[in-house]
Structure 1
Amino acid sequence: MSVEATKATSLSSDTETLVVKDWKNPVIYAVLALVATLLIGLRAPQATISLGISDGVSWFSAEPLRINPQTYGWVASALMLALTLYSLVTAKAGKTLGKWVAPLFWLLFATGLLVWAVGSTASPSLSLVSLLNGAVLLSVPMIFGSMGGLLCERSGVVNIAIEGQLLLGAFSAVLVGSLTKSPWAGLVAAMVGGMLVSALLAVFAIKYLVDQVIVGVVVNVLVSGLTGFFFTRVLEPNASVLNSAPKLPAFAIPGLSEIPVLGPVLFNQNVLVYIMYIVVATIWFALNKTRWGLRTRAVGEHPKAADTLGVNVNRLRATNVLLAGAVAGMGGAFFTLVSVSSFNSDMTAGQGYIALAALIFGRWTPIGALSAALLFGFSLNLQFVLSILGTSVPTELLAMLPYLVTIFAVAGLVGRSRGPAAVGIPYVKE
């Protein structure tokens, strides 16, 4: 046997014996499955949960679903333990877990905790339609914010400034909406406000090559300070004139709104929710089916190659950052044209950062970011619902719930996420 063949055989043998074992998720699953067994299994509440499913539909009537927390708790715990054992065996063999494992495990864990929490309330009855409807509505600013972040980051620009875009969008919407008495003018002003924040981000990050993360944080602090100052000095003393915008209208879509459960949730909403559907669908189509989308993905992955093919990298990045600001600004309009009719200091309450987490959780795809934002909206709504029902869970823990979910997502506990290769790296044409 030749020397080359011997080396090739040795290299092949070494490659075959090199097995990378990832124990992170199996260990996490083991801990959470143990917690679930002790909590939702052994300490499941006695009361039966009543889950209404026929609200909001005139022609459909059904008895509420009855859920026994003890039965569901033990079934969920057993399935989580089985998934944990499967993940341990798979990790020991050096194989990759199937993509279905993480979603199924987290679904069981989340629904198990939900059943346990609702079952421990003073009145364990819940409307599924109301719960989902609130989740969709509260997720609107995060969905718009994550779409804005998607447009930036698929172009190669880190968008930490989503919080500032939402906040200035909310401020601009209430100011212009109050002056013109038109919620539509307020919505346009919100888009302009978001674009102003994006313009700052684009100038410093793209033109002057300042670190994009630092620019985003500074812009957020600047917008927070400016809107807080003008709220105290201008809006609050003249609240009836400058801080009382009319709300955007809401309406039901005939036919679709009569679909049981999903109809009232998806098709009996505020007009901003319908705009959100259009925005998400448009961004998905544009990114995947158009020349602009191909170029956007190219400058986010390999800007030098895109430049070689004639794409003006920095111009496209700047354009997409401005477009992202308009999209995120519409999310800011939710706070002052849908939720309430007035502005308060820092009323976005960190939802821009949660939107960024949704983008990461959703693996930088429109549908993934949408799904993640809906999950965060559900967790945000859940704390309000459980507080109203009078759960024994401490209110401080409920207030932490959306942010705990965010930390889990960003930490990669639902799988690895790989962003665009050139994101955060300024491009200088040679």
Structure 2
Amino acid sequence: MALTSRVGSREILRLAVPAFGALVAEPLFILADYAIVGRLGTVALGALGIAGTALTSLVNVCVFLAYGTTAAVARQVGAGDLPRAVKQGVDGLWLAAAIGVALIAAGWPLAPWIVELFGASPGVAGQAVTYLRISLLGTPAMLVILAGTGILRGLQNTVAPLVVSIGSFALNAALNALFVLVLHWGIAGSAWGTVLAQCLGAVVYVLVVVRAAREHHVPVRPDLAGVRDAGTAGIALLIRTVCMRVVLIVATTVATRMGDAPLAAHAIATQIWTLLAFALDAIAIAGQAITGRTLGAGNVHLTRSATRTMVIWGVGCSVVLGVALVLLRPVLPGLFGADPEVSAELVSVLWIVAILQPVAGVVFVLDGVLIGAGDRRFLAWASALTTLAYLPAAYAVVHTGGGLVALWLALGVWMAARLATLGWRAYGRAWLVTGA
């Protein structure tokens, strides 16, 4: 793909808009499952909540398969070496499949213990174990989809992942309805429907990559050295993701100590934060693909220019989202059926969520840019340092008996620390490594 003298808003939107659609499609999988399983009763719904939380955590931890592959493939595309770009993608697929098989082997016997950590009642626990064990069988496919998404994003194609996501969501909903509501397989039917949808989605990605491999005369057999290199490169991104999960888990733990109403308000606020993050993550994904390509082509000036443009887009979108959240703040509690006590907590904390949006707009974009640059080691260290900056703030909330607003201000400390570290790095030149 030829490089122009600048990366304009049109190219950013060409990558970001379909990426946003694909990101939104992911939680629709879970929403469809909840809508159908909810007809089985409270016990089944609780079991899905526990198993779904465990599986979602697994996906979040393994997201490095998508991010790392995007950066590696995009860099080779920029360098004009499409065969090597495809080779990087093939290695990523084999790594994803291997991790998936290992997770099945480890997760199957540990499923009862994992469910027990949530403190579920015996009835809920039994169904949660059933759902979790069946869903684990789809883990290799789920991770192949992550790696396949990374390959196509690296090839500057975010439309195909959107199409696959929509198709998988539709198939998942149809199979769940068939297995649960028509064939009466219970919660196991929901798990099997999701597994089958994931497997078919993975098949699509494999066929696309195999076709590209044949076109560029790249072998599709596993290359142990390449798979090992892909895994080694992913360790730093894994550390980054785990640190972020620690922050969110600590926040939920602190909210739990405040009582049921603050916990419920925190859960809703977190979901709203996540939804808003999808829009900003879409720009970050464009940043991964564009940065890898421009640095691979050796064009530092274009990389700088594209970064500035994407930061402007991130700030603009985040300000719009923040203002929209402030305007919708009075009606949002009603959408979640919150009682008066929860509503009062939620309305107060949404101010903080809105104020943090411009910070998030810059942070998410710069995070994506540095991932695209392959600056993984710095991101790992920065994540560890910002987590350490957050923990004393979270402890102060507990020690002083602060409420939910104080907890979200502590999360603001974390976001400010991320802004400082990522901004400092982006301002320098150490991450601007060019070439293949």
Fold agreement, TM-score > 0.5: no
TM-score between both structures, scaled by the size of structure 2 = 0.28
TM-score when normalising by structure 1? 0.29
| More helix as a share of residues | 2
Q: Which has the larger radius of gyration?
A: 1
